[in-house]
Chains A and B, each alone.
Chain A
């Protein structure tokens, strides 16, 4: 069976940043890209399963994004796996999680995958939507915020736990095929070895366009999205009183605040 793992290269703002001219996003010059933290965990889930059942399970990382997104795939492949898939063309500019989920579903069908893993959320915009949109398109069983996954590739269902508020977990059985979103802390993601990093450069990456996956122009970009960003702005700052000075001065003031509050001046 194939496990597709959705990988997102997330953007983080530089300390000083500016807003794009159209006012709808940050200026890309001020963005740093890295692999979404959650995706490290879901890739590790898939790798561990592939290692446990070497002849039965293949783990494949998939990303939707321009060429720079290949860095995310290579980062995964440096730890294991044989090949990656990237989906992109210009028409995907401005796509929301619905469109991304739809594309992931199309890749899952094409690969005849049995499981799609996505991150619980991505640290850039925290939509927490993409995996479940893929599930809706596929019509598969699904559950979000999975904190433990036991899978036997011969069985028709998997045993999972999902994390609830307050750290309680719900144990449940889920039928396969399934889409799950993976939570932080489910495992300890490995580090890539230097050898792995080198090998990853030679591993094949397949590039697909939305039309190759059967999506029409109405199903991508803004037309296929469920929402549209019409403005991004820097919110008003909160009321924090800044304690200025050298670290010694700042610490002195902080100690005063603590002692005053506690009445042990």
Chain B
């Protein structure tokens, strides 16, 4: 029976929930292809993750002990390659997170496996996998295939599949990690600067500005507008990177998730995946953008194709 390997992802003793989403993706493929699903867990104490990974269509959990608790690319690569050499899987899947970025392409490159990143749809056609991912800032989609590749490495976009919840009773096995000298050494973690003035994660009404505001001098008028409206001012990453607003105001993958937000007004934000990771779930998203094709309109409830300065000027009148 052909096999799908899922490489589990974890940090500081917590399983990355993206792993459970990938298991769902694998389970759907299992139904279509009859492939067996094996989850590879690489950790200093892999046992601690076994229960959380016993979900969905998982047939086997392969425990691999390595000397370091936290992610390390040399360990991950050597283990995945060794398991893959033995099992000859059809697919190797992992969540499309920053850890995967450091090792999944290397695994693919070393064996010349097929490879695609940030995939949000997988199907089989004539017994061969086809992967769908975005192109040109989400404005187009591209379909990839993998001619002559027996094994294909895919990283799966987050929030695409629902995390697997049904429990399973997989077989548990152990695999001996190859001996390698790791070439990076974990020193420690640094928490993000939380000295910010507001907690954007808790805000209910958010006015968020992006690169469309063009200049630092324009920030102040949106600050005032947000105040006037009773909104909290948030931003996309370039605004924080430029130092125009504190990092604590940044919404997205490397910033905050706005978990309490009821209305998110995005002005001059294009809608990158990384920004959406922090706000996509909000019920009422209103986007103002001059580009009618901006991908933010794909998740917005209301769209306003207009110059954000014109809208801001007019909006002020309604909140005197």
Q: Which residues of A contact B (CB under 8 A)?
A: 11-13, 15, 26, 96-98, 101, 120, 123-129, 132-133, 135-137, 141-145, 157, 159, 161-175, 178, 181, 184-185, 222, 226-235, 237-243, 247-248, 250-252, 254-255, 257-259, 261-262
B116 part of interface (Cβ distance < 8 Å): yes
Q: Are A126 and B134 in contact (CB under 8 A)?
A: yes
The reply to whether B184 and A181 form a contact with Cβ atoms under 8 Å apart is no
Contact of B189 among A127, A165, A168, A262 (CB under 8 A): A168
Number of interface residues of B (CB under 8 A): 90
User: Is residue B87 within 8 Å, beta carbon to beta carbon, of the partner chain?
Assistant: no
Residues of A within 8 A of B313 (CB): 247
Given contact pairs A170-B189, A226-B108, A175 touches B143 in the complex (Cβ within 8 A): no
Query: Which residues of B276-320 are within 8 A (CB) of A?
Result: 284, 286-287, 291-293, 297-307, 310-311, 313-315, 317-319
Q: Which chain B residues lie closer than 8 Å to A227 at the CB level?
A: 114-116, 131, 144-146
* Residue from A171, A233, A262 in contact with B205 in the complex, judged by beta carbons closer than 8 Å: A262
Provide the residues of chain B in CB contact with A243, threshold 8 Å.
Answer: 302-304
Cα distance A144–B100 when bound, in Å? Answer: 9
Of A124, A126, A137, A233, chain B has the most CB atoms within 10 Å of the CB of A126
With most chain A CB atoms within 10 A of its CB, the pick from B114, B117, B136 is B136
SS of B interface (majority)? mixed
- In the complex, 8 of the A-B residue pairs with CB atoms within 8 angstroms, ordered by the A residue number, are A144-B102, A170-B70, A226-B153, A234-B139, A241-B302, A242-B304, A250-B304, A252-B318
Among B41-49, B51-59, B247-255, the stretch that binds chain A is B247-255
Tell whether A172 pairs with B102 under 8 Å between CB atoms, given A128-B117, A163-B254, A167-B254: no
Looking at the assembled complex, report how far the CB atom of B129 sits from the nearest CB atom of chain A, in whole angstroms. Answer: 10
A98 to chain B, nearest CB (A): 6
B97, B140, B189, B318: the one within 8 Å of A169 (CB): B189
| A261 & B262 in contact (Cβ 8 Å cutoff) | yes
CB of B297 within 8 A of CB of A162, answer: no
Tell me the bound Cα distance from A231 to B125 in angstroms: 14
Closest B residue, CB atoms, query A31? B136
Q: Quick one: given A126-B118, A128-B118, A251-B317, are A133 and B105 in contact (CB under 8 Å)?
A: yes
State which of A97, A166, A234, A247 has its C-beta within 8 Å of the C-beta of B140: A234
Complex Cα spacing A241 to B136, Å? 23
Known contacts A167-B255, A243-B303; A174/B98 CB under 8 A: no
Residue of A whose beta carbon sits closest to that of B270: A123
Report A-chain residues with C-beta under 8 Å of the C-beta of B189.
164, 168-171
Instruction: Give 1 or 0 for each of B106-129: 1 = CB within 8 Å of chain A CB.
Output: 101110111111100000000000
Taking a contact as CB atoms under 8 Å apart, the answer to whether A185 and B241 are in contact is yes
Complex: chain A residue closest to B98, CB-CB: A145
Besides A13-B139, A126-B118, A173-B184, 5 other A-B contacts (C-beta < 8 A): A168-B190, A226-B116, A242-B302, A250-B306, A250-B311
CB pair A145 B101 closer than 8 Å: yes
Q: Does B187 belong to the interface (CB within 8 Å)? A: yes
Q: Are B190 and A171 in contact, CB atoms less than 8 angstroms apart?
A: yes
Please give the distance in Å from A90's CB to the nearest CB on chain B: 20
Other-chain contact of A163, B98, B303, B314 (Cβ < 8 Å): B98
CB-contact partner of B286 in A120, A175, A257, under 8 A: A257
Say which residue of B101, B114, B247 sits within 8 Å of A226 (CB atoms).
B114
Inter-chain contacts of B314 with A (CB < 8 A): 247-248, 250-252
Q: Contact at B292–A15, with CB atoms within 8 Å?
A: yes
When the two chains form their complex, are residues B262 and A240 in contact, meaning their CB atoms are under 8 A apart?
Answer: no
Residues of A within 8 A of B105 (CB): 97, 101, 128-129, 132-133, 136
A128 engages B101 (CB within 8 Å):
yes
Max chain B Cβ within 10 angstroms of own Cβ: one of A12, A136, A157? A136
Q: Are B139 and A171 in contact (CB under 8 A)?
A: no
Nearest B-chain residue to A250, judged by Cβ: B304
Given contacts A15-B291, A234-B140, contact A166 B98 (CB under 8 A): no
Task: Report whether B302 and A257 are in contact in the complex, using a CB–CB cutoff of 8 Å.
Answer: yes
Indicate whether A175 sits within 8 Å of B297 (C-beta atoms), given known contacts A227-B115, A235-B141, A240-B303. Answer: no
Residues of A near B284 (CB, < 8 A) are: 257, 261
List B contacts of A170 (CB < 8 A). 70, 186-190
- Distance of B215 from chain A, by nearest CB (Å): 14
Whether B315 and A132, one on each chain, are in contact in the complex, defined by CB atoms closer than 8 angstroms, is no
Interchain CB contact under 8 A, A165 and B253 = yes
In the complex, the answer to whether B187 meets A171 with C-beta atoms within 8 Å is yes
- Residues in B whose Cβ lies below 8 Å from that of A233: 140-141, 143
- Whole-angstrom distance between the Cβ of A163 and the nearest chain B Cβ: 6
Q: In the complex, which residue of chain B has the Cβ closest to the Cβ of A23?
A: B143
Whether A240 touches B287, Cβ cut-off 8 Å, given contacts A145-B98, A230-B145, is yes
Q: Which residues of A contact B117 (CB under 8 A)?
A: 126-129
Given contacts A124-B135, A168-B192, A230-B143, contact A247 B185 (CB under 8 A): no
Report yes or no: A240 in contact with B298, Cβ–Cβ below 8 A: yes
**Interface pair B301/A164, CB less than 8 Å apart:** no
Specify which of A98, A120, A230 is in contact with B115 (CB 8 Å cutoff). A98
From B106, B205, B263, contact of A136 by CB (8 A):
B106
Please, how many angstroms separate the alpha-carbon atoms of A181 and B98 in the complex? 11
In the complex the two chains form, is B109's CB within 8 Å of A226's CB?
yes
Contacting pair A125 B184 (CB below 8 A): no
**With known contacts A123-B137, A168-B191, A135–B106 Cβ distance under 8 A:** yes
